[in-house]
Chain A
Amino acid sequence: MLAVIATAEFKLKYTGSVLGYAWSVLKPLALFTLLYLVFGRVFNLNELSPYYAVSLLVGIVLYSFFADATMLGLISIVTRDSLIRKIAFPRIIITTSVTLTAGMTLLINITVVGAFLAYKQITPQLDWLLIPLLLVELYAFTLGVSLILAALFVRLRDLQQVWELALQLFFYASPILYPIGFLPPWAQKLAFLNPFTQVMQDIRALLFYPDVASNRITAAGAFGGLGRVVPIAIAIGTLVVGYVYFRRQEPWFAERA
Chain B
Amino acid sequence: MTVGRGVAVEVAGVGKTFLLPHGHRTTFKEYFLHPFHRTAYERQQALSDITFDIAEGEFFGIVGPNGSGKSTLLKVLAGIYRQDAGTVRVNGVLSPFIELGVGFNMELTARDNILINGTLLGLTRRQINDRFDEIVAFGELERFVDQKLKNFSSGMQVRLAYSVAIQVDFDILLLDEVLAVGDQEFQKRCFETLAEIRRAGKTIVFVSHDLGAIKEHCDRAMLLLNGSIQAMGDPEDVLAHYDALMHRDAVGPI
B26 and A156 contacting across the interface, CB-CB below 8 Å: yes
A89 within 8 A of B: yes
B29 and A86 contacting across the interface, CB-CB below 8 Å: no
Q: Give bound CA distance, A88 to B76, whole Å.
A: 10
Q: Give bound CA distance, A83 to B27, whole Å.
A: 24
Residues in B neighbouring A8, C-beta threshold 8 A: 105, 108, 112, 115-116
Dominant SS at the A interface?
helix
In the complex, what residue of chain B is closest to A159 when comparing beta carbons? B28
Residue-wise, chain B 63-82 has the 8 Å CB interface mask toward A (1 for contact) of 00000000000010011111
* A143 → chain B closest CB, angstroms: 21
Residues in A neighbouring B115, C-beta threshold 8 A: 4, 8
A251 and B82 contacting across the interface, CB-CB below 8 Å: yes
A1 and B112 contacting across the interface, CB-CB below 8 Å: no
B102 and A12 contacting across the interface, CB-CB below 8 Å: no
A167 within 8 A of B: no
Residues in A neighbouring B122, C-beta threshold 8 A: 1, 89
> Which residue from A4, A85, A158, A251 sits with its C-beta under 8 Å from B28?
A158
* A248 → chain B closest CB, angstroms: 11
A12 and B105 contacting across the interface, CB-CB below 8 Å: yes
B119 within 8 A of A: yes
Q: Give bound CA distance, A182 to B212, whole Å.
A: 78
A254 within 8 A of B: yes
* A96 → chain B closest CB, angstroms: 14
Q: Give bound CA distance, A24 to B79, whole Å.
A: 37
Residue-wise, chain B 24-66 has the 8 Å CB interface mask toward A (1 for contact) of 1111110100000000000000000000000000000000000
* A150 → chain B closest CB, angstroms: 16
A86 and B99 contacting across the interface, CB-CB below 8 Å: yes
* B81 → chain A closest CB, angstroms: 6
Residues in A neighbouring B103, C-beta threshold 8 A: 83, 87
Residues in A neighbouring B80, C-beta threshold 8 A: 84-88, 254
Residues in B neighbouring A162, C-beta threshold 8 A: 28
B242 within 8 A of A: no
B97 within 8 A of A: yes
Residues in A neighbouring B27, C-beta threshold 8 A: 156-158
* B128 → chain A closest CB, angstroms: 9
In the complex, what residue of chain A is closest to B82 when comparing beta carbons? A251
B116 and A87 contacting across the interface, CB-CB below 8 Å: no
Contact residues, B97-128 vs A (CB, 8 A): 97-99, 102-103, 105, 107-108, 112, 115-116, 119-122, 125
B119 and A5 contacting across the interface, CB-CB below 8 Å: yes
* A120 → chain B closest CB, angstroms: 41
Residues in A neighbouring B108, C-beta threshold 8 A: 8, 11-12, 15
Query: Which one of B24, B75, B80, B108 has the greatest number of beta carbons of chain A within 10 Å?
Result: B80
Contact residues, A86-114 vs B (CB, 8 A): 86-89
Supposing A158-B29, A162-B28, A256-B24 touch, asked if A86 and B107 sit within 8 A by C-beta, the answer is no
B201 within 8 A of A: no
Contact residues, B6-38 vs A (CB, 8 A): 18, 24-29, 31
A4 and B107 contacting across the interface, CB-CB below 8 Å: no
B119 and A4 contacting across the interface, CB-CB below 8 Å: yes
Query: Which one of A4, A12, A155 has the greatest number of beta carbons of chain B within 10 Å?
Result: A4
Closest 8 CB pairs of A and B: A251-B82, A158-B27, A88-B79, A4-B119, A88-B96, A87-B102, A87-B97, A86-B99
User: A interface vs B, CB < 8 Å?
Assistant: 1, 4-5, 8, 11-12, 15-16, 83-89, 155-159, 162, 251-252, 254-256
User: B interface vs A, CB < 8 Å?
Assistant: 18, 24-29, 31, 75, 78-82, 94, 96-99, 102-103, 105, 107-108, 112, 115-116, 119-122, 125
Q: List 17 A-B contacts (CB under 8 A).
A: A4-B116, A4-B125, A8-B105, A8-B108, A12-B108, A83-B102, A85-B75, A87-B80, A87-B96, A87-B121, A88-B78, A88-B94, A89-B122, A158-B29, A254-B80, A254-B81, A255-B18
- 17 other A-B residue contacts (CB within 8 Å) besides A11-B112, A87-B103, A157-B27: A4-B115, A4-B116, A15-B108, A83-B103, A83-B120, A87-B102, A88-B79, A88-B96, A89-B120, A155-B26, A156-B28, A156-B31, A157-B25, A157-B26, A162-B28, A254-B80, A255-B81
